[in-house]
Amino acid sequence: MKRFNAKKNAHKYDYDAVVIGAGPAGEAAAMKIAKSGLKVAVIDPRKQVGGNCTHVGTIPSKALRQSVFNIISNRRDPILNQGIDYHLIPLNKVLSKAREVVRNQVETHTRFYERNQVDLIHGWASFKDRHTIQVALSDGAEQEVTFEKAIIAVGSRPYRPDFIDFDHPRVFDSDKILQMDYIVQRIIIYGAGVIGCEYASIFTGLGYKVDLINTQGQLLSYLDAEISDALSHDFRQFGVLIRNNEEIDRLETYDDCVILYLKSGKRIKSDALLWCNGRSANTDSLNLGAIGLEPIRRGQLKVNEFYQTSVDNIYAAGDVIGWPSLASAAYDQGRCAAAYMVGDENARPVQSVPTGIYTIPEISSIGKTEQQLTEEKVPYEVGQAFFKHLARAQIIGERSGVLKILFHRETLEILGIHCYGNHASEIIHIGQAVMESKGGNTLEYFINTTFNYPTMAEAYRVAALNGLNRVF
Ligand SMILES: Cc1cc2nc3c(=O)[nH]c(=O)nc-3n(C[C@H](O)[C@H](O)[C@H](O)COP(=O)(O)OP(=O)(O)OC[C@H]3O[C@@H](n4cnc5c(N)ncnc54)[C@H](O)[C@@H]3O)c2cc1C
């Protein structure tokens, strides 16, 4: 760890810019500022870089998902199936691979900071005024850091309602679940958003019985309805009991179980509860009042199109500004905020972000859904490719999955792409590139271009031909 250099820069401040938070948004911002030749420091209380993304969010959950995916594949393979009862292995043991990935990620990203000579200050930051941050250092000391401009990239944490005892050993949120060190047979997941659905896949893969409590009428209702229906169908097949339109009344906790009472009058007894209902931005410890900033809903900060808060030398990016609360976008938002800050004329705000949901199988989409196009009265058509018909899918044993292309029936412009099936989060990027190519966004691209064979990407050609057959 490099202790920051308190020598003043060419101006009157210690740093040209200070970034608060070493997650994806903070890292990308710091690298952009450093590459612009400015003196920058990043403040984060963790001894290791990577933010919540690397330590409790994206990386451990995706590595855990991969371990569970491998377990499922091995179970299906008579040669690899060793008769292991995976539901007798505690979750924190399944996470051993994830811990290795986290270690490697931290090493890689630490090198980025070193190579770009970004100072890392380990401590909690809070504002003293518009150009001064007070840092509570990890060794207990206090340090003042002055700066010309700052970027707030403090991320978010699971929202914890007061009436639930998260200190109870049978009550978890998405941070705490990574430490679950005992075996369960059944688990309740409260909240069926992306994180809730991803954990429902992980737990059923391990053989747990899952009660998934959805406060909405449909799973992930912003998805194309067919894809959302496919997910519900597969969840039910794998033993997830989905309860839609429900709301918690109270939770009773005991040494050996939890009982969830729902406002509809239902009660569910289970071994543990995982709370996945919302997140709060980490702004409460920043003393924002000292700079005249006031957070909006759940601690989030409002920014303009240049990622600037209402205080003109203070920018914000990543989960702390809300939409879309994805690591993928946080990197880009951090880089854009820094680009605007240093006056880069090529800076563009993040607007189009694909959906990537790592359930088993995956979901990914970009552009409009059938519901939206129907509502807007756009004359569209659908082209579909089912994975089970693709040579590559048959070779690698993919049984389910579909790629849907929605296109304008007159211009053949691609309006939306929706994919359900393994590798969906990768497959979507082919369509995304075509959709965003200037003058080249047409279904014909997939018919006139030779793709490798056999590949999953062939789904685009099959779907395009299928769609064209519907046009008359
Ligand atoms: C279970 C789970 C799975 C996810 N899966 C995906 C996925 O598959 N794909 C995807 O794109 N996104 C995923 N996400 C979302 C993704 O993790 C977040 O969008 C991303 O971490 C946001 O990055 P960030 O840089 O804004 O903040 P964070 O990663 O939250 O980092 C913020 C950092 O700021 C620090 N900080 C906070 N307060 C202070 C302070 N006062 N002073 C100094 N430092 C402070 C924190 O310690 C932290 O290190 C997932 C999230 C969860 C919880």
Q: What is the structure's pLDDT at 272? A: 98
Beta-carbon neighbour count of residue 157 at 10 Å? 19
Query: Any binding-site annotation on 278?
Result: yes
* Pairing mode of beta strands 209-213, 314-316: unpaired
Q: What is the structure's pLDDT at 91? A: 82
Amino acid, single-letter form, for residue 226:
E
Calculate mean pLDDT across residues 57-86. Answer: 80
Q: What is the structure's pLDDT at 360? A: 94
Distance between Cα 301 and ligand 1 center (Å)? 15
Q: How confident is the model at residue 77 (pLDDT cuts 50, 70, 90)?
A: low
pTM of this prediction?
0.94
| Residues 6+ positions from 350 with CB-CB distance below 8 Å | 329, 332, 333, 336
* Pairing mode of beta strands 279-281, 156-158: antiparallel
Q: What is the structure's pLDDT at 5? A: 44
* Pairing mode of beta strands 142-152, 15-20: parallel
Alpha carbon separation from 231 to 19, 246, 367, 404 (Å, rounded): 39, 19, 19, 15
Q: Is 252 helix (H, G, I), strand (E, B) or coil?
A: strand
- pLDDT of 2 over the 50 cut: no
Please, what are the domains in the chain? 15-156+280-342 (3.50.50.60), 171-277 (3.50.50.60), 361-469 (3.30.390.30)
Query: Any binding-site annotation on 62?
Result: yes
Instruction: Please state, in angstroms and rounded to a whole number, the distance separating the CA atoms of residues 443 and 435.
Output: 9
Torsion over CA: 14, 17, 20, 26 (sign): negative
Best mutation site among 52, 303, 314, 428 for ligand 1 pocket (most ligand atoms within 8 Å of CB): 52
- pLDDT of 6 over the 90 cut: no
**Per-residue model confidence as pLDDT tens digits over 131-185:** 999 999 988 999 999 999 999 999 999 999 999 999 999 999 999 999 998 889 9
Q: How confident is the model at residue 79 (pLDDT cuts 50, 70, 90)?
A: low
Instruction: Please state, in angstroms and rounded to a whole number, the distance separating the CA atoms of residues 433 and 346.
Output: 19
User: Looking at the DSSP assignment, which residues form a beta bridge with residue 189?
Assistant: 212, 274
DSSP secondary structure letter of residue 107: H
Query: Any binding-site annotation on 419?
Result: no
Distance between Cα 153 and ligand 1 center (Å)? 9
Q: What is the structure's pLDDT at 9? A: 55
Calculate mean pLDDT across residues 355-384. Answer: 97
Best mutation site among 326, 363, 366 for ligand 1 pocket (most ligand atoms within 8 Å of CB): 326
Query: Any binding-site annotation on 421?
Result: no
343 phi and psi angles, rounded to 5 deg: 80, 30
**Per-residue model confidence as pLDDT tens digits over 373-393:** 999 999 999 999 999 999 999
- pLDDT of 7 over the 80 cut: no
What is the average pLDDT value for the chain, to the nearest integer? 94
- pLDDT of 229 over the 90 cut: yes
- pLDDT of 78 over the 70 cut: no
**Residues lining ligand 1, CB < 6 A?**
20-26, 43-46, 51-53, 57-58, 61-62, 124-125, 153-156, 174, 195, 282, 285-286, 318-320, 325-328, 330, 356, 358
Q: What is the structure's pLDDT at 295? A: 97
Q: What is the structure's pLDDT at 139? A: 86
Q: What is the structure's pLDDT at 90? A: 79
Query: Any binding-site annotation on 356?
Result: no
**Per-residue model confidence as pLDDT tens digits over 388-427:** 999 999 998 887 899 999 999 999 999 999 999 999 999 9
- pLDDT of 4 over the 70 cut: no
Query: Any binding-site annotation on 292?
Result: no
DSSP string, 150-161: EEE---EEE---
Q: How confident is the model at residue 3 (pLDDT cuts 50, 70, 90)?
A: very low
Q: What is the structure's pLDDT at 86? A: 64
- pLDDT of 442 over the 70 cut: yes
- pLDDT of 230 over the 90 cut: yes
Atom of ligand 1 nearest to the CA of 124: 42
- pLDDT of 313 over the 70 cut: yes
Alpha carbon separation from 320 to 42, 129, 311, 316 (Å, rounded): 16, 20, 16, 7
CB-CB contact of 91 with 102 (8 Å): no
**Per-residue model confidence as pLDDT tens digits over 12-44:** 899 999 999 999 999 999 999 999 999 999 999
- pLDDT of 222 over the 50 cut: yes
| Residues 6+ positions from 321 with CB-CB distance below 8 Å | 300, 301, 302, 303, 307, 333
- Percent of the chain past pLDDT 70, that is, above it, reads 95
Best CA proximity match to 359, nearest among 248, 163, 449, 228: 228
Amino acid, single-letter form, for residue 12:
K
Q: Which residue has the tokens 């700079």?
A: 291
Give nearest CA residue, ligand 1 atom 8: 58
Give nearest CA residue, ligand 1 atom 49: 51
